[in-house]
Amino acid sequence: MTELRTLSSTAKIRLVATRELSTRIRDKSFIISSIVILVAIVGAMAFQVVVSSGGEETRVGVVGGDASVTAALEAQGEALDVDVTVVELADEDAARAAVDAEDVDGALVAGTDPELLVRESAGGSLEAVVQGAVGQLAVAQQLADAGLTGLDVPEVAVTSLDTGAAADGQRIVTAIIGVVLLYSLLILFGQFIAQGVVEEKASRVVELLLATMRPWQLLAGKILGLGVLALGQMVLIGVVGVAGVLAFDVVEVPGELIGTVLTVIAWFLLGYAFYAAVFAVAASLVSRQEDLATVLMPTSMVLIVAFFVGIQAASDPAGGLARVTSYLPGLSPLVMPVRQAAGQVALWEVGLAVVLMLAAIALIVRLGGRVYAGALLRTGGKIKVREALRAERV
Q: Which run of H or of E encompasses 106? A: strand 106-109
φ, ψ at 109 (rounded to 5°)? -95, 105
- Say which CATH number the domain at 78 has: 3.40.190.10
Establish if 150 belongs to a structural domain.
no
Cα–Cα distance for residue pair 85/388, rounded to 1 Å: 77
Q: Are residues 112 and 261 in the same domain?
A: no
Q: Are residues 18 and 90 in the same domain?
A: no
Q: Which run of H or of E encompasses 117? A: strand 115-117
Per-residue confidence (pLDDT) for residue 348, from 0 to 100: 92
Q: Are residues 97 and 226 in the same domain?
A: no
Residue type, 76: Q
Angle at 92 between CA 87 and CA 93, to 5 degrees: 105
Contacts of 21 (CB under 8 A, 6+ apart): 225, 226, 228, 229
154 DSSP assignment: P
| HSE-CB of 243 using CA atoms within 13 angstroms | 8
Q: Are residues 211 and 81 in the same domain?
A: no
Cα–Cα distance for residue pair 85/104, rounded to 1 Å: 9
Angle between helices 292-313 and 165-203 (to 10 degrees): 170
Cα–Cα distance for residue pair 314/324, rounded to 1 Å: 14
Q: Are residues 268 and 368 in the same domain?
A: yes
Q: Are residues 108 and 223 in the same domain?
A: no
Establish if 26 belongs to a structural domain.
yes
Establish if 345 belongs to a structural domain.
yes
Cα–Cα distance for residue pair 329/84, rounded to 1 Å: 56
From 87, 113, 145, give the residue that closes a domain: 145
Q: Are residues 73 and 126 in the same domain?
A: yes
Helices (H), 101-164: 124-145
Cα–Cα distance for residue pair 132/109, rounded to 1 Å: 15
Establish if 50 belongs to a structural domain.
no
Establish if 35 belongs to a structural domain.
yes
Cα–Cα distance for residue pair 183/10, rounded to 1 Å: 30
| HSE-CB of 268 using CA atoms within 13 angstroms | 32
Per DSSP, the chain holds a count of helices (H) and strands (E) of 15, 4
Helices (H), 204-326: 205-210, 215-247, 254-283, 292-313, 320-325
Q: Are residues 258 and 353 in the same domain?
A: yes
Number of domains composing the chain: 2
Per-residue confidence (pLDDT) for residue 156, from 0 to 100: 44
Q: Are residues 78 and 28 in the same domain?
A: no
Establish if 314 belongs to a structural domain.
yes
Per-residue confidence (pLDDT) for residue 4, from 0 to 100: 53
pLDDT per residue of the chain (394 residues) written in tens, 0 to 9: 555 556 777 888 888 888 888 887 887 877 887 788 778 777 766 666 555 554 577 788 888 777 777 788 878 777 777 778 888 888 888 888 888 888 888 888 877 778 888 877 666 677 777 777 777 777 666 666 666 555 554 544 445 445 555 556 667 777 788 788 888 888 888 888 888 778 777 776 776 777 777 777 777 888 888 888 888 888 888 788 777 767 766 555 556 677 778 888 889 889 988 898 888 888 888 877 787 888 888 888 988 888 888 888 877 888 888 889 999 998 999 988 888 887 778 889 999 999 999 999 888 877 777 777 777 666 666 777 777 777 655 5
Q: Maximum CA pair distance of the chain?
A: 107
Angle at 200 between CA 195 and CA 204, to 5 degrees: 150
Establish if 161 belongs to a structural domain.
no
Q: Are residues 292 and 357 in the same domain?
A: yes
Establish if 48 belongs to a structural domain.
no
Q: Which run of H or of E encompasses 88? A: strand 82-89
Quote the domain boundaries for residue 228. Answer: 7-43+166-393
Q: Are residues 232 and 363 in the same domain?
A: yes
Cα–Cα distance for residue pair 198/281, rounded to 1 Å: 11
Q: Are residues 179 and 96 in the same domain?
A: no
